Amino acid sequence: MGSPIEYLDGSDSRLCSRCATEKGVLITRKEVFCKACFIRFIRGKQRKQMQDEKYKVKYGKAKELAALNPTKILLALSMGISSLVLFDVIASLLQEQMEMHKGNTGFELVVLNIDEYELTSLNNSIQAVIPKLKSFFSYVDISFKVLNINSYILDETLIKRIRLYPDFHATMTDSDKNVSSGLKDLLLSCPNKSSAEDLLTIVFDELILRTAYVENCSTVVYGHNMTRIANEIIALTVKGRGSSIHEKVLDHVVHYQDKSIQIVYPLKDVLRAEVEAYCNLIGLSDLKLESTKPKATINRNMTIRDLTTNYFNQLDATGYASTASSVVKTGEKLGPPKNFESSGSQSITQCQVCGIDIHQNPQNWLKRITVNESAPLVTEEDEEYLKLYNESKSAMASLGETEESEAITNPLGICYGCIVTLSSIKAEDGFLWPIRNSAQEKEDILNEYILTEDEEE
């Protein structure tokens, strides 16, 4: 057993299983494909996921209504191979619509890139690549948007010092530091790489939804392939974000501010190896952006996503790529959590750090599963650990009434996933991060949110 894709050399005379006229260039899913049929096969996967009438060309009265409120799709372009392939696939759909309907299309495409050049030390800047993208996709009319990652912080007054205590309750207080340096410095203060990665994912998801809101896009499409989605399912489980799995696998609708935005994963039936093959055949590889930071090779230096990515890469290399399909199918069976505390005064609330729904109080659950009785002391080492523990308790007790008053006057609603992410932070130090304020956000987004088209074209 080997890779899910087998490339055929020029000496192989096997014909394409689809057209039976052209020589095959690769084998996948036990079928021989020529270049044209393989490209059509991958594009067909996207067409299958986006069959809704709103993406089709309108005529008559429907066309008049569409002119007043055109369908707009936001494509989240990370400049990785999957998002580039999705870009090409959707651009080809627009091209087909123009050719078949006398220049008309069923939707407008807005392409968003969140600039990570400094944050992840990319090999090139998005501003340098956009002219190449425009040249490559010159046959369609596309609006390019580039967003500074610091746009996540709408108002510096929303940056609070978060403290998480041993009994799992969290508080927030005003920051006493100058945080004008931006989001990068906040992420650098994370206790570990996995925490920074998790918070960065929250930032990206929020910025994409904000942009869709500002640009009046009714749909957001992500380039996640099947392998990436399987990766996300495992990573979310490990990070304590299992309640979000149904949103990372299934197409769904997000209610953001006063709008409903549909989230679609058009490549969720395509393996990563197939995405790579498409990318190579089309000639997109030269456009991708990659981090120049050396990758960690020791497990303890890897993030959760690094570990799960390596796991699926090993499965691909050893011929078990179908495992990703099994993981995704299992994830598809999961729905949103039941609201176990919906009775009485309890109701669903939102996490003030990441914004997801909190269906049951994580503090109560953690207290129920926490072992409160210690094992008997046997060795001198046990005695030493007890001494250190008592000293740490004394240090926490020194916070005294401050902690108690903070818990009463400045409580922070936080989900289990964010408790896991922030669990390594010392309560006495706290952690600086923007807190969500739904009452203020809408006005701030519209008034202060600066969006540029490759810096506004």
Q: Considering the entire predicted model, what is its pTM?
A: 0.87
Q: Is the pLDDT of residue 452 over 80?
A: no
Say whether 331 sits in a helix, a strand or coil: helix
Q: What is the pLDDT of residues 292-321, one digit of tens each?
A: 887 777 777 788 988 999 999 888 878 788
Q: What is the pLDDT of residue 67?
A: 80
Q: Is the pLDDT of residue 206 over 90?
A: yes
Distances (CA, A) of 176 to 146, 272, 432: 32, 46, 10
> How many angstroms separate the CA atoms of 8 and 104, rounded?
39
- Residue 233 token pair: 């399912």
Q: What is the pLDDT of residues 235-280, one digit of tens each?
A: 999 999 988 898 878 889 999 988 999 999 999 999 999 999 999 9
Distances (CA, A) of 239 to 32, 234, 335: 40, 9, 18
Say whether 61 sits in a helix, a strand or coil: helix
Cross-strand bridge partners of residue 174: 160
List Cβ neighbours of 183 (8 Å cut-off, separation of 6 or more).
149, 150, 152, 153, 203
Q: What is the pLDDT of residue 388?
A: 81
List Cβ neighbours of 352 (8 Å cut-off, separation of 6 or more).
172, 412, 413, 414, 435, 436
Q: Is the pLDDT of residue 454 over 60?
A: no
Bridge pairing between strands 431-434 and 357-358: unpaired
Q: How many CB atoms lie within 10 A of CB 107?
A: 23
Q: What is the pLDDT of residue 199?
A: 93
Phi-psi region of 349 (alpha: psi -120 to 50; beta: other; left: phi over 0): beta
Mean pLDDT of the chain, nearest integer: 85
Q: What is the pLDDT of residue 188?
A: 85
- Region of poorest pLDDT, from 160-169, 330-339, 342-351, 444-453: 444-453
Asked if 146 and 127 touch (Cβ cutoff 8 Å), the reply is: yes
Q: What is the pLDDT of residues 164-180, one digit of tens each?
A: 888 888 999 887 666 55
Asked if 42 and 280 touch (Cβ cutoff 8 Å), the reply is: no
- Residue 370 token pair: 């926490």
Asked if 183 and 152 touch (Cβ cutoff 8 Å), the reply is: yes
Bridge pairing between strands 72-76 and 108-115: parallel
Domains of the chain plus CATH, in order, are 6-448 (3.40.50.620)
- Region of poorest pLDDT, from 236-250, 279-293, 381-395: 381-395
